[in-house]
Amino acid sequence: MGCREPEPAGTAPPPPPAEIPAAPGAVVPAAAPEETSALAPAQPLAPAASLRLGSASDVNTQLICELARQSLQAAGFGVEGGCGTGTPQEVRRALLAGQIDLAPEWTGTGLDWLRAAGKEVPQALSHDAELGYQALQELDQRMNRLTWLGRAPVNAVTTVAVPEVLAEQYSLTSFVDLARYVGAGGELHLTVTPEFAQGPLAALERSYGFSWQRSREPRGAGAEAPHPRTSMDFLPAGLPQSGTTPPELRDAQQAAARQDQPSAVMMAATDGTQQVLGLRPLTDPAGALTVQQPAFTVRQEVLKTAPRLSDVLTP
């Protein structure tokens, strides 16, 4: 930027410029998107309004939201709204309708939102962190004028955990190892929800070549089954898959850790009680499970007027 020469003494200062740049947080109307959501059109913010923050009410998402609130305030942004403002569906609708400006979301869930809106999104993208994220950035911006900021390098997927003692004894670290263990006749009792058995577990079976008995009692060593010494208990259907661990699931995790029998149980890969309980979540090198990485979604109009949001909210 060039320097302005000094003005002669006694000269009145020049009048202010006719146009003043928009204040941080103000919304500049954007061109209509190529594809539109079926929900209500976004409502523009009043000039110089604070950022309106929202999040789903599960614990993980609320924690991310609260950390973001503090970071935004430290960076000089005004922040309205709160964390834990509703269900994931309610938060998504509010973001699309322009009732909030930004919210934390999960990449796997974001791809599901696009499918629910009628977009054909290959299921393989849900299992590839990089390609799935790129698809989200492109499609959500084009369809809904939402920008996905940088994602955190963590995968909050729900997986299967085994007791550390059993894991050490049989070198169980991944589902490759689990397939080897049950394929060799290893005994293991698994506790999961019906939804996990029908979806993620079925995908794991296809990817790693093992099969699990969907019954409480194993068939015995002489039965005609691929892995006859496996058995399964079902937790109640409809338990939350993220956030605070339901009591029924926590009881099952504690029972698995006691090792009354060789046991495994569903568990979030990011569950902070792993070491306390003595459980080891198994890794998924084949990418059979849906990748769930957290990132902030921001209305495009808001990001244009406050581009520093990307620096503040990208891990």
Using CA atoms, how far apart are residues 140 and 79, in angstroms rounded to an integer? 24
Pairwise CA distance, residues 279 & 275, whole Å:
6
pTM of the model: 0.69
How does strand 188-192 pair with strand 102-106?
A: unpaired
pLDDT by residue (tens digit) across 242-290? 556 788 999 999 999 988 789 999 998 888 889 999 999 999 999 999 9
Tens digit of pLDDT for each residue in 192-244?
A: 999 899 889 999 999 999 988 887 654 444 334 446 688 999 999 877 665 56
What is the DSSP code (8-state) at residue 163? E
pLDDT digits (tens, 9 = 90+) for 30-61: 443 444 443 344 444 433 458 999 999 887 89
Angstrom distances, CA of residue 14 to CA of 11, 17, 22? 9, 9, 21
The span from the CA of 310 to the CA of 312, in Å, is 6
Q: Residue 237 has what pLDDT?
A: 87
Q: Which of 248, 241, 262 lies closest to 167, judged by CA?
A: 262
Instruction: Give me the domains of the chain, ranges plus CATH numbers.
Output: 51-154+292-313 (3.40.190.10), 158-281 (3.40.190.120)
Pick from 55, 52, 45: nearest CA to 23: 45
Residue 12, SS3? coil
**Phi-psi region at 171: left, alpha or beta (left = phi > 0; alpha = psi -120 to 50):** left
The strand pairing partners of 233, in sequence order, are 191
Among positive and negative, which fits the CA dihedral 133, 136, 138, 141?
A: negative
pLDDT at 51: 96
The CA-based dihedral angle spanning residues 98, 76, 87, 60, taken in that order and rounded to the nearest 10 degrees: 150
Is residue 14 over pLDDT 90? Answer: no
Q: Give the model's pLDDT for residue 213.
A: 85
pLDDT for residue 246: 82
Give the pLDDT of residue 165: 94
Helix axes 129-144, 107-116, angle to 10 degrees: 50
Element (DSSP H or E) covering residue 310: helix 308-313
